[in-house]
Structure 1
Amino acid sequence: MRPVTYRKYEMTHKQLAMLAPDLMLRDLTRLTYQQLLNDYAETHERQTTMDFHRHLKSSLLDALEEGLIARDPTRKAIIKGTAHQQHKIKYLHQYELQALLNELELEGEVNWDYFILLIAKTGLRFAEALGVTPNSFDFAHQMLTIDKTWDYKSKIGGFAPTKNESSVRKIPLDWQTVIQFSQLTKHLPSDQPIFVKGQVYNDTVNHYLERLCKHAQVPIISVHGLRHTHASLLLYAGVSIASVARRLGHSNMTTTQQTYIHIIQELENQDNDKVMKHLASLI
């Protein structure tokens, strides 16, 4: 189990101790378990409540198998939750992104400016970009291979697997990016992460990006917002959802559609106008 996954189980345990500090295993019934879920659901969305339920259910089924309890208290449990909050993604328009990129200092050695540039050009996740090494690049074929991440949340650090199998991918690069990174990585160790120098914090890079956004006089976004910006610009440019999903490393197109639904709907409206104009011309 990865440390980040283990921490999720620790959080479930912490929530359980807060909600039912005096509940004994022998007193757990379908009624008391349902009440526990209902209490949790009062302050959490349904999907989060479902994850909480799955963690508890797996341990309780083990308890049932070991003979510690006589019946499965999770049977026919009803999963509730607060209304889903539709968070509008933050991204930059093309002219805003260009203004931000104009602020980058891309001369000399490795810095966070190159890191920001790489994510803006590829749509990588934060941990994926940290895991990039010089041998991740195939400059001859203008390709970047993503097959690992960097565990920046751990004090130990080190390479880690990608988020899922679909996250392992090859991303085509434009010739400008190829030239910039071929020069940058020329004398760096081929199998070591380019941007990792000791402990890396997401907040550190986000604060630096915030200062750049203010200086460029564009909306403030996070590093993850650069990933959204990359995807949004591709969609507006007419790139198919399937291609964007592969480039982002989404496990399926549904994830891409749900994340960028407002952009897709806007493009569909534009397409409807084009369809009507075309049909009107067929007289």
Structure 2
Amino acid sequence: MLTKERTLQYFHEYFSEWIEIYKRGAVRPVTYQKYLMTLQRLTELSPNLKICELDKRKYQTLLNDYAKTHERQTTMDFHHHLKSAILDAMDEGLLTIDPTRKVIIKGKPVSDKKNKFLSQFELQSLLKSLNLTDKPNWDWFILLVAKTGLRFSEALALTPKDFDFECQKVKISKTWNYKNAEGGFGETKNLSSKRTIQIDIQLNTQIERLSKDLADDEPIFVQGRVFNSTVNNRLKVLCKKAGVPIISAHCLRHTHASLLIFAGVSIASIAKRLGHSSISTTQETYLHIIKELESQDNDKIMSHLSMITQ
């Protein structure tokens, strides 16, 4: 039975307890820190919001306030953290309705200097500029991420034994703690991130040849301390050389997903390939592309129907 104290609990207090119970020790340290950052912003924006007062309007207002100083994707991440806790609050009977239903995700305009993904033509130009030597280098790493959509830490953790060259598949079961000086293998972002994906025959042959003299259980691309900026700086050079917009390593993942959507691959298949915890995450992340394709489909539908006459 719920106590009055529980129903009058502040939302940020509930979220703090929820993080401690469900996330501490269950997610990677870097992910846990992101939850703590969400808690900090929640406390700053809505210090007096109680669980029992949380309705659709108040929740939308909270997201709108957050979006004033953050881009849409960052606001989306903030929303996903809060939504998970809210759904558990509903299960506990603290809420009778889902205040996150049909929420609108906003955000400040994306900087012109930031590009989320490349077109197929731009990606092809980028890949043609790669310097693929007979030894692993960051250009090989860039090719791998572009063709698999792996997260940065997932790609770093790949070893030769993670590849099934006979079946053209790669198994993602771990990450590399590149943010720690000592490095080392770590857990994946979530359970859904543990997956096996198909790779094309060309990449399969290239990686098999590249890793034939490497230790089976050692990372292919890690040689000492790894910094995200190192790869991004190399990408910057390659993008300028190819004459395409400058993107980051993470944007290669967005590019991979975007091209699959435009190719007509189902959202369910893309979500599984990316290691998303739910299809809704994929839909919300790439909503702008999905809407663009829906608009194109509507034009096709109307064109087809106009040819059907009585």
TM-score by length of 1: 0.75
Partner of 1:227: 253
Partner of 1:244: 270
Aligned length: 247
Which residue of 145, 158, 178 maps to 1:152?
178
Q: Is 1:34 the counterpart of 2:48 in the alignment?
A: yes
1:281 Cα shift?
2.5
1:253 Cα shift?
1.1
Partner of 1:74: none
- In 2, Cα distance between the equivalents of 1:13 and 1:263? 30
1:49 Cα shift?
9.5
1:246 Cα shift?
0.9
1:162 Cα shift?
0.7
Q: Is 1:127 the counterpart of 2:153 in the alignment?
A: yes
Partner of 1:115: 141
Q: Is 1:279 the counterpart of 2:310 in the alignment?
A: no
- In 2, Cα distance between the equivalents of 1:50 and 1:144? 28
Partner of 2:58: none
Partner of 1:184: 210
One-letter identity of the residue aligned with 1:270: Q
Partner of 1:217: 243
> Which runs of 5 or more residues in structure 1 are unaligned?
20-31, 56-78
Partner of 2:70: none
Cα distance change on mapping 1:254 and 1:86 into 2, 3 Å: farther
Give secondary structure in 1 for the equivalent of 2:166.
Answer: helix
- In 1, Cα distance between the equivalents of 2:137 and 2:284? 34
Q: What's the % identity of the aligned pairs?
A: 54
Q: Deviation digits for residues 194-225 of structure 1, max 9, x if unmatched?
A: 11111101111101101100010000000011
1:243 Cα shift?
1.0
1:242 Cα shift?
1.0
Contact 2:158 2:219 in 1 (8 A): yes
Contact 2:64 2:106 in 1 (8 A): no
- In 1, Cα distance between the equivalents of 2:127 and 2:288? 25
Partner of 2:291: 265
Partner of 1:65: none
Partner of 2:226: 200
Mapping of residues 15-164 of structure 1, within 5 Å: 34=48, 44-45=66-67, 48=78, 84-85=106-107, 90-164=116-190
1:84 Cα shift?
3.9
> Which runs of 5 or more residues in structure 2 are unaligned?
1-24, 50-61, 68-74, 86-98, 100-104
Give secondary structure in 2 for the equivalent of 1:109.
Answer: coil
Cα distance change on mapping 1:157 and 1:84 into 2, 3 Å: same
1:135 Cα shift?
0.7
Cα distance change on mapping 1:9 and 1:234 into 2, 3 Å: closer
Cα distance change on mapping 1:264 and 1:198 into 2, 3 Å: same
- In 2, Cα distance between the equivalents of 1:8 and 1:270? 37
One-letter identity of the residue aligned with 1:225: C
- Give the greater-gyration-radius structure (CA): 1
- In 2, Cα distance between the equivalents of 1:166 and 1:118? 20
Cα distance change on mapping 1:147 and 1:123 into 2, 3 Å: same
- In 2, Cα distance between the equivalents of 1:249 and 1:10? 23
